[in-house]
Structure 1
Amino acid sequence: MRHVLLALTLCPTFAFAAGSPDPAPPKPTATTQRCAEGLVFDLATQTCLPPEQSTNDDQSRLDDVRALAYAGRYADALRVLDTMKDQSDDMVMTYRGFAARKAGDMAGGMAFYAQALAVNPDNLLARSYMGQALAEQGADDLAFAQLTEIRMRGGRGTWAETSLASAIATGITYNH
């Protein structure tokens, strides 16, 4: 089955990175380039502030979360997530799961993915991240079930599908 999935990942599909129309990893943000650990770049003041004091909107905060997670700053990503207005938002839970998992809390990450999917079963990113976590644990059959769900929910050709198929085929997961 790994060979079939590897073939699927090598077909010319334009894959999209999570939260972006660009298949590349997230570009560094002012937060990751200018601010010390524990701080975010506030767009209004053009200074680095604790996330709790930032006036950034939630989309800017999610952009920072993604860049912080990619930079391996999971505690900072979680701290920014703590400042999001709607803590029950499925994308907040998805990114919380990702940061927790990458920080070494696999059970916590899986619980957040499950919560995100309970809110929005069509959250393809949560399905992809959950599937990648399952592939990391060697549960390829369960990871493949998430891949099937992604495809059945209209996710063919997306970054969510391609990255999960690649993780199942190679055992290598993404950090964005």
Structure 2
Amino acid sequence: PDADRADYAYRLAKDGRYEEALALLDTLKDPNTAKALNYRGYATRKLGRTDEGIGYYLQSVKLDPQYAQVREYLGEAYVIKARLDLAQEKLQHIKSICGSTCQEYHALAEAINDSSKTCHRTD
């Protein structure tokens, strides 16, 4: 089923096998689910195609505004683009979905914090 294929594609992407993940996502009968679009966004972002990834994330958010993981990944993409204002917005959305104790909140907060440290170094 598509859901299992999407989950497997995500595992491939998490293992750094981004092209394989995208190829598997291309085989889905319905590639336009929130989960599939999120995973496609993740793989493309990890390949350095951040703007393309953001496009997939935004499509995913439209389909499921309460999907905390896609908001985390979208926020991380905004951190890459040095748009910490937009990343902070995503962090607040995540907080409204699952609070400040969920994994997605912590992961994005850490990415923002790490980026802030890098941006404000004075060496």
TM-score, normalised to structure 2's length?
0.86
Residue 147 to residue 75, structure 1, CA distance change in 2 (3 Å): same
The equivalent residue for 2:92 is 148
Question: How do 1:160-175 residues align onto structure 2 when only pairs under 5 Å count?
Answer: 160-171=104-115
Structure 2 Cα separation of the partners of residues 140 and 74 of structure 1: 26
Give the CA deviation at 1:96: 0.5
The alignment yields a C-alpha RMSD, in angstroms, of: 1.6
How many equivalent residue pairs? 116
* Aligned match for 1:122, one of 50, 54, 66: 66
- Partner residue of 2:9 out of 53, 65, 68: 65
Q: TM-score, normalised by structure 1?
A: 0.62
Q: Which whole-Å CA distance do the structure 1 matches of 2:6 and 2:13 have between them? A: 10
Of 57, 80, 90, the residue aligned with 1:136 is 80
Q: Report the Cα distance in structure 2 between the residues aligned to 1:107 and 1:61, rounded to whole angstroms.
A: 25
1:14-163 to 2 correspondences below 5 Å: 57-163=1-107
Q: Secondary structure at the match of 1:156?
A: coil
Q: Is the 8 A contact 2:2 2:30 kept in 1?
A: no
- 2:120 maps to what in 1? none
Deviation at 1:63, TM superposition (A): 2.9
Superposed CA deviations along residues 12-51 of structure 1, whole A, max 9, x for unmatched, are xxxxxxxxxxxxxxxxxxxxxxxxxxxxxxxxxxxxxxxx
Q: Which runs of 5+ in 1 are unaligned?
A: 1-56, 172-176
CA contact (8 A) 1:124 1:155 kept: no
C-alpha separation in 2, matches of 1:61 and 1:155:
30
The answer to whether the 8 A contact 2:41-2:52 is kept is yes
Following TM superposition, where does structure 1 have runs of at least 4 consecutive aligned residues deviating by more than 3 angstroms?
none
Uncovered stretches (5+) of structure 2, i.e. residues with no partner: 116-123
* SS of structure 1 residue aligned to 2:98: coil
Q: What residue is the counterpart of 1:12 in the other structure?
A: none
* Structure 2 letter corresponding to 1:117: V
